[in-house]
Amino acid sequence: MPILALTGSVGSGKAKGSTPHNAPADVILVRDRLINLGFTWVSGAAKGDEKEFIRTIKLFQSICAGSGKLIGDGRIDLKKNTHEWLESENAPRWVKIFNQDGPGWKCTSDFKESNGGYCSSWLYYRLWCAGIIYRALCFFNQIADAPPMWVRECSPTKGGNAIGHASHETGIDMDMRLPLLPPDTNKWDDLGSNGYKNKRFHKSAAIMQLTAIKLAMDTRLVLFNDPDLIKRGLCSKYKNHDQHYHIRIKPASKT
Ligand SMILES: [Zn+2]
């Protein structure tokens, strides 16, 4: 476990009792740990009460809390939850997903990188696992012409407000377009409202995708409106989700 040997609290608010608050050496330790975890934009932070530094602590807290919107108090108290998470081997990292792909998935990268090209390492890692399982399921169930999972917007470059989304602020949400039947297996067209009824929709590939997501991604939410797939327990209904899946993961546990 990486040790973050703080002497007091860091971030928003004031000192409690005789415990130091925002001692310069503590601020540097937190800043360097955040940089090490991929939240690199805090590299210029010199003081613990700087707005962007506190916002980044909130982003980290929101991921750990499993919130799709920015929450948290922006404060690290000695030996409390946020401090423990920063010390955890399994602390969430901030990674780029734009232009990336892996077995069974591909980022379509046809949206603004700055609005959806980044996510937490937890989401990224579980997507890799789901992609591999999806390929295996297609093989064993003899699903021919199964397209990759078409990953679209996750979160903005530094988290925070994502245009066109109610959540997607903290790197734990992801959208996916639907798989299409031949000859369109390399396309991820927006099938619009009632998209799941469209005759181009590759339903058997979608069943394998959602099964893999359920097995590998420890989801809090999978939103998609196809009544057959809802009946199978693979997703649930939510307005405007006829033509894509929205996935939100649960937090990992501290190790
Ligand atoms: Zn979404």
> How many angstroms is it from 48 CA to the middle of ligand 1?
33
> How many angstroms is it from 245 CA to the middle of ligand 1?
7
* Crossing angle of the two packed helices 203-216 and 121-140, in degrees rounded to 10: 130
> How many angstroms is it from 155 CA to the middle of ligand 1?
10
> How many angstroms is it from 171 CA to the middle of ligand 1?
11
Q: How many CB atoms lie under 10 A from the CB of residue 223?
A: 18
Q: Is residue 118 classed exposed, middle or buried when 0-12, 13-18 and 19+ CB atoms within 10 A define those classes?
A: buried
d(CA 71, CA 210): 29
Taking the CA atoms of the chain, what radius of gyration do you get in angstroms? 20
**pTM of the predicted protein model:** 0.96
Side-chain-side CA neighbours of 229 within 13 Å: the count stands at: 29
> How many angstroms is it from 225 CA to the middle of ligand 1?
13
- Per-position pLDDT tens, the chain of length 255: 678 999 999 999 999 999 999 999 999 999 999 999 999 999 999 899 999 999 999 999 999 999 999 999 999 999 999 999 999 999 999 999 999 999 999 999 999 999 999 999 999 999 999 999 999 999 999 998 999 999 999 999 999 999 999 999 999 999 999 999 999 999 999 999 999 999 999 999 999 999 999 999 999 999 999 999 999 999 999 999 999 999 999 999 998
Q: How far is CA 127 from the centre of its chain?
A: 9
Task: Summarize pLDDT for 78-122 with one digit per residue, the tens.
Answer: 999 999 999 999 999 999 999 999 999 999 999 999 999 999 999
User: Does domain 94-249 match CATH 3.30.1380.10?
Assistant: yes
Q: Is residue 189 classed exposed, middle or buried when 0-12, 13-18 and 19+ CB atoms within 10 A define those classes?
A: middle
> How many angstroms is it from 180 CA to the middle of ligand 1?
20
Length, in residues, of the chain = 255
> How many angstroms is it from 255 CA to the middle of ligand 1?
29
